[in-house]
Amino acid sequence: MAHELEKENAADAAMDYVEDGMTIGLGTGSTAKFFVENLAEEIADGLMIKGVPTSEQTRQLAESLGVPLIDIEQVDRIHLTVDGADEVDASAQLIKGGGAALLREKIIANASDLMVVIADPSKQVEMLGQFPLPVEVTPFGYTITAKQVYDALCRAGVLKPRIDVRAGPDHQPLVTDGGNFILDCQCGIIPDAPKAAALLAHVPGVVEHGLFITNCRVVIIGSEDGATVFEY
Q: Is there binding between residue 222 and ligand 5RP (CB under 6 A)?
A: no
Q: To the nearest whole angstrom, how small is the minimum distance from the Cβ of residue 20 to ligand 5RP?
A: 26
Rounded distance between C-alpha atoms, residue 224 and residue 232, angstroms: 24
> Residues near 160 by Cβ (< 8 Å), separated by ≥ 6?
none
Q: Is there binding between residue 86 and ligand 5RP (CB under 6 A)?
A: yes
Question: Pairing relation of β-strands 80-83 and 23-26?
Answer: parallel
Q: At what angle do helices 4-14 and 30-44 cross, to 10 degrees?
A: 50
Q: CB-hemisphere CA count at 13 Å for 27?
A: 31
The region of 22-30, 59-67, 186-194, 213-221 touching ligand 5RP under the rule CB under 6 A is 22-30
Active site includes 126? Answer: no
Single residue of 51, 99, 205, 222 touching ligand 5RP by CB under 6 A: 99
Rounded distance between C-alpha atoms, residue 94 and residue 212, angstroms: 5
Q: Is there binding between residue 102 and ligand 5RP (CB under 6 A)?
A: yes
State which residue, 145 or 176, has the beta carbon closest to ligand 5RP. 176
Q: Is there binding between residue 184 and ligand 5RP (CB under 6 A)?
A: no
93: β partners = none
**159 burial via Cβ count (<10 Å: 0-12, 13-18, 19+):** exposed
At residue 98, the 3 state secondary structure works out as coil
Q: Is there binding between residue 53 and ligand 5RP (CB under 6 A)?
A: no
State which residue, 123 or 205, has the beta carbon closest to ligand 5RP. 123
Single residue of 18, 22, 101, 183 touching ligand 5RP by CB under 6 A: 101
Amino acid sitting at position 134? P
Q: Is there binding between residue 187 and ligand 5RP (CB under 6 A)?
A: no
Single residue of 98, 129, 132, 205 touching ligand 5RP by CB under 6 A: 98
Single residue of 9, 18, 35, 83 touching ligand 5RP by CB under 6 A: 83
Q: To the nearest whole angstrom, how small is the minimum distance from the Cβ of residue 173 to ligand 5RP?
A: 16
Rounded distance between C-alpha atoms, residue 131 and residue 134, angstroms: 9
The residues annotated as belonging to the active site are 105
Kindly list the residues in this chain that would bind ligand 5RP in the complex (CB under 6 A): 27-32, 83-86, 96-102, 105
